[in-house]
Amino acid sequence: MMQINGSTEIYGIIGNPVAHSLSPVMHNSAFEALGLNKVYVAFPATNAAKALDGCRALGVRGLSVTIPHKEMVLDHIDSIDPVAKKIGAVNTLVFDEDKKIHGLNTDWIGANRALADKLDLPGKRFMLLGAGGSAKAIGFGLLEAGAQVILASRTESRVKTLAGILACDWIHLDEIDTVQADCLVNATSVGMRPLENATLVSGGSLANFPVVMDIVYAPLETRLLREAKGAGCEVINGLSMLLYQGVAQFEAWTGKDAPVEVMRAALMNMIAV
């Protein structure tokens, strides 16, 4: 059992809302498994600048950053990882001994590692659904790994803008049945509860994609993944990306190898509740 005392180092997540976050149980299980005197808590925060000032003052050692602050914090940190700078957003902050803050983005690392469980990324062709922040991070990550990316979205103006940023091809969503790729990635919220019966890709198109990943993890098996299984595809659920981005955060904060299976079990137990 974790014992909090005067020497306990504090980590946490800032965002609004954060009450639903699975990160506290994931990181606290990892801290406990390795016997580290650290604790991770959720900080509801509406003002990113004030939240960071408070965390600096209180000696917080690391933060996860979620909606709506992933871009807002950029003006209030001291340095940023090169890939995070390309993405234009961070989800991880590391506070050094001098209380300087370094920003990282582990969303793309989490997506790449989840995908790498099923296929080698260099040279592979990915059909990426979405044009928001998640699609942007995943797209940059795939390009970093030497993969090819094609975008599709419900909103033409947004997908054209993101395709310009990523320097990749894009198609209209209704053209997806004309595309073949090594993997399809849903980087939208379509399929998330309470709209778990929604999907952007009809069952007949899924056979064009040997691997299908959905970043949605509630429910764990979305309609997209259920139908992809039925079409003979290998599937990757949203828990994998959540897990691996957290693993990268843990290792950035502690310098230690994360207890991956402990963290996976903690997430699975929470989702099963």
What are the catalytic residues? Answer: 70
* Cβ pair 4, 31 in contact under 8 A: no
Tokens 């290998």 correspond to: 234
Instruction: Find the helix or strand (DSSP H, E) in which 244 lies.
Output: helix 238-254
Q: Contacts by 3-6 with C-beta closer than 8 Å and gap 24+? A: 3/37, 4/39, 5/37
CA distance 192 to 47: 27
Count of other CB atoms within 10 angstroms of residue 224: 26
Count of other CB atoms within 10 angstroms of residue 188: 22
- Residues in contact with 96: Cβ distance below 8 Å, sequence separation at least 6, in sequence order: 102
Structure-block tokens of residue 96 = 């050094």
Write out the DSSP string of 8-76. -EEEEEEESS-TT-SHHHHHHHHHHHTT--EEEEEEE-S-HHHHHHHHHHHT--EEEE-TT-TTGGGGG
CA distance 168 to 107: 20
